[in-house]
Amino acid sequence: MIALIVRRTFELVFLLFGISFLVFSSMHIAPGDPAAMIAGPTATESELTAIRANLGLDDPFLVQYGRYVKGAVQGDFGYSYQTKQPVSEAIAVRFPNTLKLAVASMIIAVIIGIAAGLISALRHNSWLDVSSTTFALAGISIPNFWLGALLILVFAVNLQVLPVGGLSSPFYTWQGIKELILPAITLGTGSAAMIARMTRSSMLEVIRADYVRTARAKGVKERNVIWIHTLKNAMIPVITVIGLNFGFLLGGTIITEKVFAINGIGRLMIDAIAARDFPMVQGSVLLVATLFVVVNLIVDIVYTFIDPRIKYD
């Protein structure tokens, strides 16, 4: 296990170098001039030249990249071109909202997805199975922006039982929970559908295995057959899907944050890309990439607790 963590740590370092280079390159290749966006449409050429020199944008590409990597290694990701705020501070302010939304969405997705998939597998070809499959298909097909707008219209505008948007209250208060309900349902529906489909498929495969048939023949209670022999062995692919979806949620909440006016990492990245704010884009992408790799490492570690036969040499 220690060897796995050390190896993944080295992989993370090289991965982040590669991602930083790709993001840095793509931002410089993309059309647009950060100096022009900072100075405004009435700026003269001399003013633009002075801004480029001040920001180091007139240096060769490799010099700019080397300067950025040197600062990033020391924990300095630069300053935002728009707000002049340190990138690390801006991310620290926005990231908790994204994390709260992702965790709440994942909790909803796991509870609904595993329950629906389990019921569907145990009642194969019944009306419950058909209903679960229909839910999964609808959950994957419905766009987040449409579902979010519909939930706002029903529960915030018409019924007025939940707030329209924003995450201004602490998550452990009743108001904070109410603010999380609609965006978490909007974001978690697609993940719940994928988890339900994977749980159903994996359960149907395991439930037909010889050892499950043998356990039933030996007189093991059906409850123990399902929870100990079947569900535990069916969880490996389900946990993989959960880990991948949670990683995507940490960096893919852009549409939901826009619909519910949540100041998270997704909105921060989109606004920074539109404004050609190089340091903010690079810092945000590196954070999301790091979290994605860490989540996958945690998933690999969880495998060994669920199935002791899995060993990492």
Q: How many CB atoms lie within 10 A of CB 309?
A: 7
Torsions phi, psi for 178 (to 5 deg): -60, -40
pTM of the model: 0.81
Sign of CA dihedral 294, 298, 299, 303: positive
* Segments forming the whole domain that contains residue 34: 2-74
- pLDDT at res. 310: 65
Judgement on whether residues 119 and 243 belong to the same structural domain of the protein: yes
Torsions phi, psi for 124 (to 5 deg): -60, 130
Amino acid identity at 308: P
Q: CA angle, 100 as apex, 95 and 106 as ends, to 5°?
A: 120
* Euclidean distance between CA atoms 9 and 297, whole angstroms: 9
Q: Residue 178 maps to which CATH number?
A: 1.10.3720.10
- pLDDT at res. 311: 63
Judgement on whether residues 119 and 37 belong to the same structural domain of the protein: no
Judgement on whether residues 114 and 242 belong to the same structural domain of the protein: yes
Residue after which a domain boundary falls, among 263, 279, 306 = 263
- Provide the domain count of the chain: 2
Both tokens of 166, joined, read 């924003």
* Euclidean distance between CA atoms 236 and 17, whole angstroms: 31
Does residue 273 contact residue 282 with C-beta atoms inside 8 Å? no
Both tokens of 146, joined, read 């449409």
Examine residue 273 and state whether it is found in any structural domain, yes or no: no
- pLDDT at res. 306: 74
* Euclidean distance between CA atoms 6 and 9, whole angstroms: 5
SS (H, E, C) 145-186: HHHHHHHHHHHHHHCCCCCCCCCCCCCCCHHHHHHHHHHHHH
Q: How many CB atoms lie within 10 A of CB 68?
A: 21
DSSP string, 57-101: TTS-HHHHHHHHHHHHHTT---B-TTT--BHHHHHHHHHHHHHHH
Examine residue 36 and state whether it is found in any structural domain, yes or no: yes
Stretches where the chain sits below pLDDT 70 are 1, 32, 40-41, 251-252, 307-313
